[in-house]
């Protein structure tokens, strides 16, 4: 089942042309004016999407803009493409694949088949094996080769095999209740692996090698180094590792794989019974809820991992069933197109007011920019309009003391998302005031979105007694748009909802621009170039990259490389 590329360019649609015309009169409109003119704006632009309470009212778009954006989504076939993706159609046409990440969180009692394949049964078979394995780890039934229980689980992977589970494990810190500490190693820089190994006990650690093909260079280099470290350290403790059978016994107790390459996994020494698979319709950056989440499940437990899946499914169902005018991912994706192509924004900031969610902006960078960093449409023609905003951010209130000055009084339009929670996992009360720290955090949260939207006028400054010469320096223009996302607490379910929200926001933008959100050919070519240059970098081949700059840099590197 496939869906053909949309032959219609977004710029040729009537809503696009109407938006272009309306923009001319809209530019200069302030959020103060919009709020004054639209009495029911907050009610109209607040949406409950699963566990998420989403307020879109501080976005720089009036009712007419929102109406035209919905029409734009309809004109580009957004409902049809959404339904096709979620039904398993081949939406990743350059790789001839479906993009069925939503199937990873289909409830066990829900039938889901694609082209005669019981996808739901396949998903739940793997989930069942993951649950059994993690229960064994957490209960102490799975032991290391010396009989010690496993207390440290190290995920070795990169890209989607690292960013998602690492972010989620940090976000769900309060749910790591079995005494299993997760670690994540991704970088080819040896400092990354060394930092993890420094903390590990070789008798009570387990490595999860996460690579779909079991051929990713960074992952296999780190995996081989980890294997050598483990054998060496155990030998120092008197564990025999002289024969291949002895080494195999060690590896089988301390290494498992998340992969589809049974032959390569077996060759590495991992028992194929301890290989957890997934499918080519799961893209790396959409895979945190697949077997790639094995380390996360080991840390938080199967029950909370099921809640994580439920939160993802909650927002999937909202995206699937809500009409576009009340559909949070659809509207947020359409607003991003409005800011990028009509108002000229180049980046999008994400500020989680939660220290546990500190890795979320990094996770979103891969999800959004690897998906939307495209300049050609599905049919191979040039897009013709700007795509892919740069996503960035930091936790509040740290970000307030780093880059918020630029947001408040700079010259760039930077839309932002503020993510907050009504309740913390641990209350801390300041003394002697008796104020709860979480209330102080959230006061900052609400204040920043208000000031970004409405600013501070010269008249207000004068009324406050500000010296005239300081008024130009203290005036704040406002009109920096933001979306506010609130949940009751940072739980597995609310985190799942956040991930699904941004997955679908990303997909919406790709449909409007007519691009493929599920391939990454630029990344693939960079890997090939690295392999081609490695002999020259190692000094085993002549330096001849083909351009003077790269040749000179490699030559400089070789001259200063200490071969220790």
Task: Please answer whether residues 239 and 250 qualify as being in contact, where contact means their C-beta atoms are separated by less than 8 angstroms.
Answer: yes
Q: Where are the alpha helices (DSSP H) in 173-301?
A: 190-199, 217-236, 244-254, 262-268, 294-300
- Which member of 203, 359, 370, 503 is catalytic? 370
Distance CA 216, CA 265 (A): 12
- Which member of 401, 427, 459, 473 is catalytic? 401
Distance CA 218, CA 223 (A): 9
- Backbone dihedral angles phi then psi of residue 152, each to the nearest 5 degrees: -135, 125
**Has 151 been annotated as catalytic?**
no
Specify burial of residue 232 (Cβ count, 10 A radius: 0-12, 13-18, 19+).
Answer: exposed
Retrieve residue 95's tokens: 């790789």
Retrieve residue 20's tokens: 């272009």
**Has 401 been annotated as catalytic?**
yes
Chain mean position to CA 371: 11
Q: What are the C-alpha distances in Å from 67 to residues 19, 264, 350? A: 10, 53, 25
Task: Please answer whether residues 77 and 97 qualify as being in contact, where contact means their C-beta atoms are separated by less than 8 angstroms.
Answer: no
Pairing state between β 347-352 and 390-392? parallel
**Burial letters 537-559, b for 16+ CB under 10 A, else e:** beeeeebebeeeeeeeebeeeee
**Has 438 been annotated as catalytic?**
no
Give me the residue label for tokens 């799961």. 282
Query: Taking every pair of C-alpha atoms in the chain, what is the biggest distance, in angstroms?
Result: 84
List active site positions: 370, 401, 527
């Amino acid at each position: 089942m496939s869906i053909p590329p949309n032959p219609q360019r977004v710029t040729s649609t009537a809503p696009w042309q109407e938006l272009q015309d309306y923009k001319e009169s809209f530019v200069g409109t302030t959020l103060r004016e919009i709020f004054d003119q639209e009495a029911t704006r907050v009610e109209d632009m607040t949406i409950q999407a699963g566990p998420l309470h989403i307020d879109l009212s501080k976005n720089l778009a009036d009712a007419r803009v929102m109406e035209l954006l919905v029409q734009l989504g309809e004109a580009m076939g957004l409902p049809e493409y959404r339904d096709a993706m979620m039904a398993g159609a081949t939406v990743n046409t350059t790789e001839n694949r479906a993009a069925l990440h939503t199937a990873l969180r289909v409830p066990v009692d829900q039938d889901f088949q694609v082209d005669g394949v019981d996808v739901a049964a396949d998903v739940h078979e793997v989930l069942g094996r993951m649950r059994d394995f993690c229960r064994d780890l957490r209960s102490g039934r799975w032991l290391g080769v010396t009989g010690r229980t496993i207390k440290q689980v190290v995920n070795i992977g990169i890209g989607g095999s690292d960013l998602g589970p690492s972010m989620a494990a940090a976000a769900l810190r309060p749910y790591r209740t079995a005494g299993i500490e997760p670690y994540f190693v991704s970088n080819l820089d040896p400092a990354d692996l060394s930092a993890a190994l420094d903390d590990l006990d070789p008798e009570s650690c387990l490595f999860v090698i996460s690579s779909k093909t079991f051929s990713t260079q960074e992952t296999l280099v780190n995996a081989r180094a980890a294997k050598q470290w483990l054998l060496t350290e155990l030998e120092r403790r008197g564990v025999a590792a002289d024969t291949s059978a002895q080494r195999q016994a060690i590896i089988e107790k301390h290494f498992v794989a998340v992969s589809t390459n049974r032959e390569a996994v077996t060759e590495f020494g991992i028992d194929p019974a301890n290989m957890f698979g997934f499918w080519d319709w799961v893209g790396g950056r959409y895979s945190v809820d697949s077997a790639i989440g094995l380390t996360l499940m080991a840390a938080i437990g199967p029950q909370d991992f099921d809640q994580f899946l439920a939160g993802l499914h909650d927002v999937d169902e909202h995206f699937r069933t809500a009409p576009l005018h009340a559909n949070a991912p659809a509207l947020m994706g359409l607003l991003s197109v409005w800011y990028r192509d009509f108002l000229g924004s180049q980046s999008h900031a994400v500020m989680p007011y939660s220290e546990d969610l500190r890795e979320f902006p990094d996770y979103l960078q891969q999800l959004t920019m690897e998906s939307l960093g495209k300049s050609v449409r599905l049919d191979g023609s040039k897009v013709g309009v700007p795509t892919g905003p740069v996503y960035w951010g930091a936790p509040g209130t740290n970000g307030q003391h780093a880059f918020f000055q630029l947001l408040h009084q700079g010259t760039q339009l930077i839309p932002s998302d503020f993510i907050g929670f009504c309740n913390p996992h641990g209350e801390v009360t300041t003394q002697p005031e008796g104020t709860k720290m979480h209330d102080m955090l959230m006061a900052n949260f609400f204040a920043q979105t208000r000031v970004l939207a409405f600013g501070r006028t010269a008249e207000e400054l004068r009324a406050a007694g500000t010296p005239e010469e300081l008024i130009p320096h203290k005036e704040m223009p406002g009109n920096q748009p933001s979306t506010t996302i609130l949940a009751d607490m940072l739980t597995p379910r609310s985190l799942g909802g956040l991930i699904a929200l941004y997955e679908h926001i990303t997909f919406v933008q790709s449909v409007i621009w007519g691009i493929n959100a599920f391939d990454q050919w630029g990344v693939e070519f960079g890997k090939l170039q690295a392999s081609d240059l490695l002999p020259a970098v190692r000094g085993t081949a002549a330096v001849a990259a083909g351009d003077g700059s790269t040749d000179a840099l490699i030559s400089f590197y070789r001259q200063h490389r200490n071969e220790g």
